[in-house]
Amino acid sequence: MKKIDYTKYPLPRIRHHANPVLYFPLKQHKGNNFLYPPVYNKLDWSEIFADGKPPAMLDIGCGLGRFLIEMSLIHKDINILGFEVRQSAVEWIESVTSGEKLPNVKALWYSAVNGLPFIRSGSIEKVFYFFPDPWVKKRHYKRRAFSVELLAEIHRVLKSGGQLFLMTDVPEVDEFQRDVLDQYGKFSYRYVKQDQWELPVDTNHEEFCIRKNIPFIRMICKKI
């Protein structure tokens, strides 16, 4: 498998928390939205992936995209699409994918709270949602992107039996996400250990947690 020398691509400075307005749908905003990511109703896959086919996996909140990129190297026969609200992170991912000439991976500057209307129903095998901004203060819970509305979109685009993978190192976020899953009611889910985790790539934050002995929680959800 191809190995990427990421040191060739200087990392941008990334704030841990993005602008709070990015965690709300564009339709809820008033006034100047020049810092808000584009909102798409339709995408031309021939402009995004070399083979012109739609993605089979989605990474929501892909951060600096190492998981996204490494998964694309393993799964060369499918396309993988990531979403990230931090524009500088998306630009860095683009520098890597362009520099390495990777044909089957793309990160969009996009806020998934606007839905996934450009993804065909029943077309996605796996969705990843890892280590989201925790927004731990109760008055900030409304900024959490994980919602019944987002779950409904994920459920719609997943194939029958498709999977949603969740990870967090914040127990309050895990509890919040479980409550949302229970409220929506159309996913079965289970907590898993390392040996039950079905993914061949670790995220940057996952490796950080392992290195620092920080506990984190893995959950696999299945469309029912």
- The whole-angstrom separation of Cα 103 and Cα 73 is 10
- On the 0-12 / 13-18 / 19+ scale of CB atoms within 10 A, 208 is middle
CA atoms within 13 A on the CB side of 43: 21
Q: Which of 133, 169, 174, 179 is catalytic?
A: 133
Asked whether 74 and 98 are in contact (CB, 8 A), the reply is no
- The whole-angstrom separation of Cα 186 and Cα 150 is 13
Helix, coil or strand: residue 222: strand
- The whole-angstrom separation of Cα 200 and Cα 193 is 14
- The whole-angstrom separation of Cα 13 and Cα 30 is 29
Judge whether 44 counts as a catalytic residue: no
Q: Give the β-pairing of 105-109 and 80-84.
A: parallel
* Catalytic residue annotation: 133
